[in-house]
Structure 1
C-alpha cells in the first residue's frame, strides 16, 4: 500500500514538473512584461482602489480599465518616448563617430596634450578608450534596433497584464496563499514585505536616480550640450553608485566647457549640479528611501546592473526587488524556521 502511494506521488510530481517546464518555456519570453505589470500594479494599487470606489456600483472592471489608461498616459508612453529618443541619440553618436572619427581623435589628442602639460604623471590613453567605446557601439547598435519591435510587443503585453492584475490581483493572491505550503501568516508577511520592497525601490532609490538623471539632462541641454538624453541616462546609472553620482557626467562636461573656453557655461553647469541635482540627493533622498526597507547603495547598484543584464530595462527595478525578496526570505528563515528546527532545552546534550 505504501509502495503504491509512493508511485502515485512520484508520477504526480513528475507530471507536474514536465508540464511546469513546458509552461515555463512558453511564458519565459514574457517574464519581463509580466514583471513590469506586477510592479506597476503594486505601486498604483491604492490609486486603483480610489478610482474603483468612484465607479458606478464600484465596478472593478471599469476601475481597472480607467486606472490602466492613466498608467499608460502617465508612465508607459513617456518611457516609450524616452527609449525612442535614447535609441536615436545612440544612433547619432554611432554615425558621428564613424563619419568624423579622425577629427574626433585629433580633438581628443589635443585635450590629452593639455592634460599632460598640467599633470605630467597622468597615464590614461583617451584615444584608445574612445576607439574601444566606438567598437562597442559598432557591435551593439544592431542589437539595440533589433530589440525595438520586441520591446513594443512586450509593452503591449504589460498593458494587458496591468489591467488583469488590477482587476483579478486579490483573487490571484488569495489562491497563491492557499496553495502555498507555508503558514498563511508567513505567506502574508512575504507578500507584504515584497510590496513594501517594490514601493521602496521604485519610489526611493530608483526614483531619485531618475530625477537626478533628468535634472542632469536638463542642465546639459540648458548649457548647450547635444545628446543630453543619452548623458542623462548615464547620469541616472551613475546616481546609483555610492560617492560617484551624477558627477560621472557633470565633471567631464564642466571640464569640456573650460577647455573650449565657455567659462560662464562651466560655472553655470557647476552651480546647477551642486544645487538642483545635489539638493535632490541630500533632502529628498532620505525622505523617500526612509519610507520603506532600504538596501545598501552598493547592493542596489549590483542588483540594478545584474537585473538589467538579465531582464533588460525593467531590471532597473526587478533586480533590487529580487534582492529585497531574498533578504526577506533569509529574515523569515532566521526568525521563524530556524527557531522551529533548533534543538529544545530537553534535547541539549551536556558533556
Structure 2
C-alpha cells in the first residue's frame, strides 16, 4: 500500500478516535478545566508542600487536594447556601409585600422622588427592578442546587484530576511537548503564557473581586445594611466593571443609611468603602500578581459575560483565561513566523 494512503488511513482513524473521545469526555470537560486552573493557581503551594514532604509527590499532592477542599471548596459551598437563602428570603418577602415600608420600599420612594425632579415623566420602580433581578438569581441558583448530584460528581472528578496533575503533571507536559510540531522553546513559551493567563485571571481579577465582595459584605454587617451576603456577592461581580466597580453597590447602601438609619453610619460605610474596599484592589494585585499579563478591566468584564453566555457558569473563569491566552499567543506569533 502506498505511504500516502497509509498516512490518510491512520489520520482518519486518529480523527475518529479523537472525536469519539471528545464526546465521551464532554460532560466532564468543565471539571477537567477547573482541575487545570487549580493546578496552575496552586502550583506554588504544591512546590512548598513538596519540600515539606521531602519530594514524596503522592503525599504532597494529597495534602494540597485536601487543603483545597477545606480552604476553598467547603467555604464556597457554605457561602452558596447562604447566598441562596439570603436571595430567596428577600425575593419572597418582596413578592408577599412583607418588605413594604422596609429599606427597599423607602429606597424606591427616595429614588422615584429625585428622578421626577430631574425628569417629571420618569418613574423608577426600584422595588420592581430588585424583585426581577432576585427572581433571575434565585431561579439560576435553584437550577444549580437541583442538580447537586451532577455537581458533586463533577467536583469529585475535578479533585481526582487535580491530584494526578500535581503528581504527574511534569510527565504530561513532556508528552505534550513531544506531540507538538513546535520546538521545545516555543512549547515552553506557550505553556508559560497559559500559566500567566490563568494566574492573571484567578489572582489578578477573580480573587481580588472575591476579596472586595467579602469586604463589602463585612462593611454592610458592621454598619447595619441588611442582606449583607447577597449584596457582597453582587459587589464582587460589580468590581469587574471598569471605573464604577463596587461603588455601584456601595453608593445606594450609603443613601439607604442616610434615609433609614443615621448620617454617622452612612459616613462610616463611605469611609470603609473608599479606604478599605477601594484601596484593596491595588494592594492585593501588587501581592497576588508578581508577573504576567494584567488584563484590562473592560476586557475582563466582556470576557466574563461572553464566557458565561457561551460556556455556562464555568465561563466565569474560562472566558477571561481563553481571551488572555489568545492575546498572549498573538504576541508570540511574530517570533514564530520570523524564525520559521
What is the rounded CA distance, in whole Å, between the counterparts of 1:69 and 1:181 in structure 2?
37
Q: What is the 5 A alignment of 1:1-351?
A: 4-55=2-53, 58-100=55-97, 103=100, 107=106, 110-116=109-115, 118-120=117-119, 123-126=122-125, 128-130=128-130, 132-133=132-133, 136-137=136-137, 140=140, 142-286=142-286, 288-289=288-289, 291-337=291-337, 339-340=338-339
Change (3 A) 1:90 1:150: farther
The offset of 1:189, in angstroms, is: 0.6
Residues 102, 278 of structure 1: CA spacing in aligned structure 2 closer, same or farther, 3 A cutoff? closer
Match of 1:349?
A: none
Bigger shift: residues 225-234 or 142-151: 142-151
Q: Tell me the alpha carbon deviations over residues 275-318 of structure 1, each in whole angstroms, 9 at most, x when there is no partner.
A: 11112124443554463211211111111222333444443332
Deviations 1:214-267 (A, max 9, x none): 100111111222321221111111111111110111011111122224322211
Give me the whole-angstrom Cα distance separating, in 2, the residues matched to 1:195 and 1:188: 10
SS in structure 2 of the partner of residue 103 of structure 1: coil
| TM-score, length basis structure 2 | 0.89
Distance 2:62 2:248 in 1: 42
Q: For 1:102-125, what per-residue CA distance to the aligned partner results, in whole angstroms no more than 9, with x for missing partners?
A: 837965653344324654458353
Unpaired runs of 5+ residues, structure 2, are none
1:141–1:326 Cα change, 3 Å: closer
Tell me how far apart the structure 2 counterparts of residues 74 and 128 of structure 1 sit (CA, whole Å).
Answer: 38
State the structure with more CA Rg. Answer: 1
Q: Deviations over 1:41-64 (max 9, x none)?
A: 1122232223223326x3211121
User: Structure 1 residue 67: deviation in Å?
Assistant: 1.8
Task: Supply the RMSD in Å over aligned alpha carbons.
Answer: 2.6
Check the 8 A contact 1:86/1:230 in 2, yes or no: yes
How far off its partner does 1:206 sit?
Answer: 1.9
Name the CA distance, whole Å, in 2 between partners of 1:8 and 1:69.
Answer: 48
**Please, which runs of 5 or more residues in structure 1 have no aligned partner?**
342-351
Per-residue deviation, 1:100: 2.1
When normalised by structure 1's length, the TM-score is: 0.86
How many residue pairs align between the two structures? 337
